[in-house]
Amino acid sequence: MPIALITGTTSGIGEATAHLLAAQGYNLIINGRRLDKLEVQAAELGDKYGISTHLMHLDVRDADAVNDFFTSLPEAWQNIDVVVNNAGLAAGLDNIENGSIDDWNRMIDTNIKGLLYVTKSAIPLLKQTKGHIINVGSIAGKEVYPNGNVYCGTKHMVDALNKAMRRELAEAGIRVSAVHPGAVETEFSLVRLEGDTVKAASVYEGFENLIAQDIADAIGYIISRPKNVNINELIIMPTAQPAAGVILRNQGL
Ligand code: NDP
Ligand code: 8X3
């Protein structure tokens, strides 16, 4: 059975992708910081799809923990075919003058450095399988919007790293692709707005947002193409979001 490693599977896009790939028969390495969620998820995926799971319970910002995880990975889990670099977050929605330095560091450390740590350790294994890396970027990596500054910057870096990986890894037969979503209703806004459920819900009011399954479907499409086909990137938006930071509310869209 093929093996996929997905970061950030305890919620949202990563969780939906875990279910989609499990349904396609992948054994899964699942990741997040919330151990209780990972354990419940492992049991669910095993019961529902009959697949095996291996827990990657760590914070992707911790370079040593990521390195230790890969160096002690049991042999049965080393033939990784797919890595989905999904773990990430936005923290805060302020202009630079009023922004929080802690928030900036969390975003830069997770979205950029965490993605790099996982990728660096996974590359030797992906070379053996001629595997596939999927980077979850964002429309925020293609455009900027008011008060999105540092989050947009981190996702522009993901866009650049996606291209750099593809240039570097093509010779090894490793495919590299990105998905760049617009507004998807997940825990994303709850995290960004520090647990304010009312404000977070209002982000998705008055239009039909994307759901995590929409992005999982795209990832499933990308990795199921024949080996000679590399989908470089997909930008996927709600119909009511024609550009980053622009949402057409209460128009029946
Ligand atoms: P969620 O908040 O629902 O999920 C984020 C996931 O990432 C969780 O499983 C969380 O797990 C994990 N995670 C966060 N930080 C870390 C960390 N330091 N180490 C390990 N795991 C971590 O958000 P989404 O599903 O929406 O976000 C997934 C990705 O999609 C992100 O990269 C985001 O930027 C991107 N994206 C989201 C969009 C949206 O509108 N929702 C649009 C465009 C892109 P835990 O808390 O257990 O660690
Ligand atoms: C999040 C996309 O448009 O909600 O990465 O900021 S958006």
Q: How remote is the CA of residue 51 from the centroid of ligand 2, in Å?
A: 32
Supply the pLDDT for residue 90. 98
Supply the pLDDT for residue 50. 98
Supply the pLDDT for residue 212. 99
Nearest CA to ligand 2 atom 2: 182
From 117, 151, 204, 221, active-site residue: 151
Q: Looking at this protein, which amino acid is placed at residue 3? A: I
Supply the pLDDT for residue 141. 98
The first and second tokens of residue 160, run together, are 């650049």
Supply the pLDDT for residue 151. 98
Domains of the chain (ranges plus CATH)? 3-236 (3.40.50.720)
In terms of pTM, does the model score above 0.85?
yes
CA distances for 129 relative to 70, 75, 86, 165, 171, angstroms: 16, 14, 21, 16, 13
Supply the pLDDT for residue 191. 98
Mean pLDDT in residue range 36-54: 98
Q: How confident is the model at residue 15 (pLDDT cuts 50, 70, 90)?
A: very high
Supply the pLDDT for residue 121. 98
Complete edge-to-edge strand list for the sheet that includes strand 233-236: 53-57, 27-32, 3-6, 80-85, 132-136, 175-181, 233-236
Angle at 185 between CA 252 and CA 243, to 5 degrees: 60
Q: Is 182 a pocket residue for ligand 2 (Cβ < 6 Å)? A: yes
| Ligand 1 pocket list (CB less than 6 A) | 7-14, 31-34, 37, 59-61, 86-89, 110, 114, 136, 138, 181, 183-184, 186-188, 191
Supply the pLDDT for residue 211. 98
26 is catalytic: no
In tens, the pLDDT along 125-155 reads 999 999 999 999 999 999 999 999 999 999 9
Q: How remote is the CA of residue 16 from the centroid of ligand 1, in Å?
A: 12
In tens, the pLDDT along 200-239 reads 999 999 999 999 999 999 999 999 999 999 999 999 999 9
Nearest-atom index, ligand 1, CA of 158: 32
In tens, the pLDDT along 55-113 reads 999 999 999 999 999 999 999 999 999 999 999 999 999 999 999 999 999 999 999 99
The first and second tokens of residue 61, run together, are 């910002």
Mutate to test the pocket of ligand 2, among 89, 138, 210 (most ligand atoms within 8 A of CB): 138
